[in-house]
Amino acid sequence: MFVTLFAACKSDDEPNNPTPGSSNGFDLSQTNSWSDEQWLEYEKSLDFGGRTFTLATHQKMRRAPSEENPTQVDTEMDELFKQLEADLNISIDINDAIGGRSEELATWTMAGENPADVYDQRPTQWLAYAAKGQIFDWASDEAKSYGVDVNNEKLFWQDWTHAWDINGHTYAVRYASKFYPPEAGWIMLYNEDILNANGITGIEDKVRAGEWTWDYFLECAKACTKDVDGDGQFDTWGISTGYTAYGEEVVTGGGKIVDWVDGKLTCTLNTPAAIEGLSFIAQQRDSGAVMPGVGAENAGGIGYGEGHTAFAQGEVAFL
């Protein structure tokens, strides 16, 4: 998701034309109703005087296509970057040194630095800064004065953008395109052959009838954890990447990880619904049905990549 830290403060001597919010003869308060042609005309009127815009991302550097094996999408995206630079008289710099952690953000902000205009970061990285009011609110009147309407479906993917709204504020936005495909949500895959071999059929009917429960899922997973050839080692397992999930058990069970309480962002993992979800994660861990990983770091369960490989090889019932 994209966030703007401290309203993208830059040095005073850096060229920044036109001034943000200037209309150049266009009414920016009406951008939500603009046609594609109107957007194009507005963009043609902009000239940022050679300004450099920096995107800090936790993902791999994707500005230039791979020289060894360039994909069509990466090549098209690179061409789009070049077109934007030429049309707007800007340079676009991508900084992928930030990684998937928040240490770099903390170091920069403590030093009073802000090396990027926009940050492509996971919610786990930007949430703490939002709680402190250190991130630009895309739903603010200031954003609207720039012609940015966070509710404009032409600009942002609405479902995912507003899924992360906090106390009426939108601190991060999400796009959906062939260059940046959106997530569709968390799903569970299952190996029907393993289920059938253990007498488990019609789980889709269980779901439709509202009978697919956490207890039934664990019952199925345990039944599929089998030593098929009698050598004393399990040949199939019930679950991979199960209990090491990302907390969706808490949310799908009706709980919340954090919520606003008395005007403060508060951890709510001590609520009954959240505790029930966390308890289910522990039940998976202790069930004996989770495929073990290699090495001490994966003692509780197989790793993410390993789990997908094992499922593809027909060794796991549920992924």
DSSP letters spanning 47-61: --TTEEEEEEESSPP
Q: How confident is the model at residue 170 (pLDDT cuts 50, 70, 90)?
A: very high
In this prediction, residue 181 carries a pLDDT of 77
Contact by Cβ (8 Å): 218, 285: no
Token pair, residue 52, equals 């450099």
Residue 9 contacts by C-beta under 8 Å, 6 or more apart in sequence? 114
pLDDT digits (tens, 9 = 90+) for 27-51: 888 888 888 898 888 888 999 999 9
In this prediction, residue 105 carries a pLDDT of 61
Long-range contacts, 218-221 (Cβ 8 Å, 24+): 218/283, 218/284, 218/287, 218/289, 220/195, 220/317, 220/318, 221/284, 221/287, 221/289, 221/317, 221/318
In this prediction, residue 103 carries a pLDDT of 60
pLDDT above 60 for 261: yes
Contact by Cβ (8 Å): 243, 284: yes
Neighbours of 313 (CB within 10 A): 8
Q: Which amino acid is at 99?
A: G
Phi (first) and psi of residue 62, to 5 degrees: -120, 15
pLDDT above 50 for 16: no
pLDDT digits (tens, 9 = 90+) for 67-111: 677 788 888 888 988 999 999 999 998 877 665 555 666 566 666
Cα gap 237→260, rounded to integer Å = 40
Q: Residue 183 class from Cβ within 10 Å (0-12 exposed, 13-18 middle, 19+ buried)?
A: exposed
Most confident region among 74-78, 166-170, 176-180, 312-316 by mean pLDDT: 312-316
Output b/e per residue, 95-107; b: 16+ Cβ within 10 A.
Answer: eeebeeebebbee
Give mean pLDDT, residues 158-186: 82
Q: How confident is the model at residue 20 (pLDDT cuts 50, 70, 90)?
A: very low
Cα gap 139→165, rounded to integer Å = 9
pLDDT digits (tens, 9 = 90+) for 194-233: 999 999 999 999 999 999 999 999 999 999 999 989 999 9
pLDDT digits (tens, 9 = 90+) for 119-147: 888 777 787 778 777 788 999 999 888 88
**What angle separates helix 272-286 from helix 214-223, to the nearest 10 degrees?**
0
Q: How confident is the model at residue 24 (pLDDT cuts 50, 70, 90)?
A: low
